[in-house]
Structures are given as C-alpha cells and as structure tokens.
Amino acid sequence: MMEQDILEVLFTEEQLDKRVSEIAAEINRDYAGKKLILVSVLRGSFVFMADLVRKIEHPCLIDFMSVSSYGKGSSSSGQVQITKDLSEDITGLDVIVVEDILDSGNTLSYLLRLLEQRHPASIRLCTLLDKPDRRVKPVDVHYSGFTIPDAFVVGYGLDYAEKYRNLPYIGILKPEIYS
C-alpha cells in the first residue's frame, strides 16, 4: 500500500546492508581500543543505528537523543528543539552521532556544538544520507553512506508525517503526497 506513494527506489535493502557493513568496518578500524558511545538521533536513525551497532565488533555504549527542526513539515523550520536528552555522561568518551540524513545542517550543527560542551574525548558524525544541495550550515561528516539529490526520501527509518519508516528500502516520495 505504501509502495504506491514511492516515485523511485534510491537504495535497495541489499545496497543499504552493504554500505552499513562498510561504514561499520571503518568504525571498527578507527575505534579499536577506545571508549566508544554511539548516539542515535531519533527517530529517523533508529533502523540505521540498529543495523550499524550489530556490525561493530568492539564494546560500545549506545544512547539516544530526540532533536527536531521539522515538526510535521517537509523542510526544516530552523528552530532546533531537544525533546529527549542523553541518559549517559559522555565526558571523556569517543562519541559518534548517528543520523539518518544531513540536510540543511541546522539541527546537526546545533547538536554537535551542544555535545562538544559536554567534554567528550572526540566527536564525529555518521550519517546514512547526505544531501549537500540543501546545506545552510557547514557540518563535518566523518562517515557517510550515500550522497543523494534534493528529493524528499522515506523508508529505512525516514518518514513523512510519521509514515513510511517501515519500508525496507529508501525511496523518493511522490511530491503530491507532501505538497
């Protein structure tokens, strides 16, 4: 039923699994012997985070934040709001922020500055999707899954109005659905 709202499949289940494995291999290499915590930015990154963490070979903590600048719309409002903060103290830990999509950069720029004030040993960003054409604020990406065009995408945790998160692939939503 949801498939009828998809204009085009950008990344299949197989492509997603392969790329997540590659990112995990990079993290495994870079963080051997370190005190690592992965921070999932809810809700969009939960599927990516679950797949990623299962492929990380060393002990790591996980935590979650809920940060929004979208509300129920299809573009960023520019107003960042934290709706759930971390449960763990990140002081002295190596932090990887795991995000579903880097779009305008407003939310992630704010979030990374906020977390840096909590004195982690290091902080890096891992995003499944990077949409550089929409960037308003510069954000350093250390691990990136795919660069995508300026299109509204859903599936694999990404939503529109809380729908489509459970699609096993990432697809472009038909414009008439969100217009």
The two beta strands, 170-173 and 6-11, are: antiparallel
- Non-local CB neighbours of 91 within 8 Å, separated by 6+ positions: 118, 119, 120
Q: Which of 51, 103, 130, 159 is catalytic?
A: 103
Structure tokens at 137: 């604020």
- Judge whether 103 counts as a catalytic residue: yes
Q: Please say whether the beta carbons of 107 and 131 come within 8 A.
A: no
9-28: buried (b, 16+ CB within 10 Å) or exposed (e) per residue? Answer: ebbeeeebeebbeebbeebe
Residues classed as catalytic: 103
